[in-house]
């Protein structure tokens, strides 16, 4: 049984997402570095899960890590689930949307800010909601 509040059948996910979004969000894929639309995106607002619309990261937490993917030094409290990932012959921490289980990317302990964290996120797994002016 699905433990997430938002759940869809595989067919519903495929209908709602582009092939790349599906591959990344539902099959833990990744996009090529420096190819995502939010890598070099700088606006006030909130980044939300592309799968369910849940708020995940505030724009104020975004920084330029130079790694080729959007990077944040923290997530919104309770928005992210953390899972050990030993694929590719290394130990990493996978980050998923806590509402729908959509793969976001990985979090690393090498961030340059006070949190020491770098949430390395696929642009295809998020959308952006501009802030109120």
Query: What whole-number distance in Å separates Cα of residue 96 and Cα of residue 123?
Result: 14
Contacts 24+ apart (CB under 8 A), 7-13: 7/100, 8/100, 13/51
Contact criterion met (CB below 8 Å) for 90 and 106:
no
Q: How many CB atoms lie within 10 A of CB 128?
A: 17
Contact criterion met (CB below 8 Å) for 72 and 62:
yes
**Catalytic residue list contains 49:** no
Q: Please name the residues in contact with 81: beta carbons below 8 A apart, sequence gap of 6 or more.
A: 95, 96, 97, 98, 101
From the candidates 52, 97, 100, 120, give the one annotated as an active-site residue: 120
**Residues designated as active site:** 120
């Amino acid at each position: 049984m699905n433990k997430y509040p938002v759940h869809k059948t595989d067919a519903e996910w495929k209908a709602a997402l582009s092939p790349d979004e599906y591959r990344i969000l539902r099959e833990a894929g990744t996009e090529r570095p420096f190819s995502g639309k939010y890598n070099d995106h700088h606006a006030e607002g909130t980044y939300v899960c592309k799968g369910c619309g849940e708020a995940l990261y505030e724009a104020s937490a975004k920084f330029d890590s130079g790694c080729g993917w959007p990077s944040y030094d923290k997530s919104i409290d309770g928005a992210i689930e953390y899972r050990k990932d030993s694929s590719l012959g290394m130990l990493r921490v996978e980050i998923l949307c806590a509402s729908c289980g959509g793969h976001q990317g990985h979090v690393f302990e090498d961030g340059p800010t006070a949190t020491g964290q770098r949430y390395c996120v696929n642009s295809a797994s998020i959308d952006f909601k501009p802030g109120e002016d």
